[in-house]
Amino acid sequence: MICLTANGTVRWTLDIEPVADMILMAVSNIISDRQGDLFYTISWVNKTEHIGKICRITNAQTSSPIQKCIVNDQILFYIDTPLILIEKYDLLITTANRNVIESAPLAFNKTTLEMFWENGLFLDAGMHGDLRSNYKTGDFFWIGVVPPVISHLIQKYFRPS
């Protein structure tokens, strides 16, 4: 990963930690919060297992970034899957592939990177489901077969930060 300054000089480079005996399957988009922290997810596989990580890079505006990644076996995707940030609730939302025909939403705490919600059976939206966020309001929505239900759960259990 390479970070460039506004005038095009290299501010820093950061290696994505490899996983022994596994193939890098996919990396999400990289997003930034209002404090300048960067977030992404990554997924590796081999013939019998998979490993996923959700990562945060702090001090990204300096020449000494700090990367923290949390391993989470629920993170599994075979194609590039969007990661969205809902600043209103300090949440990171992505999807995971459960099999070849369905995707499941995953919600992570932005500060701790711990997953607090996953329910593949509740939102059987298919591989064509996708997440989007309204950056002006902080609200988000699911594009897919089933009506959006995630926002109702979050608004019920979490207050804006």
**Is the predicted pLDDT of residue 61 greater than 50, yes or no?**
yes
Contacts made by residues 55-58, CB under 8 angstroms, sequence distance 24+ = 55/113, 56/113, 57/14
Name the residue ranges covered by the structural domains of the chain: 2-157
pLDDT in tens, 27-54: 888 999 999 999 999 988 888 888 889 9
pLDDT in tens, 125-160: 445 555 655 667 756 666 655 444 555 555 555 555
| Mean of pLDDT over the chain | 77
State the CB neighbour count (10 A cutoff) for residue 8: 6
Q: What is the pTM of this model?
A: 0.75
State the CB neighbour count (10 A cutoff) for residue 89: 22
Higher pLDDT among residues 130 and 69, named by residue:
69
pLDDT of residue 123: 43
The arithmetic mean of pLDDT across residues 99-103, rounded, is 57
pLDDT of residue 159: 55
Q: Cβ(55)–Cβ(43) under 8 Å? A: no
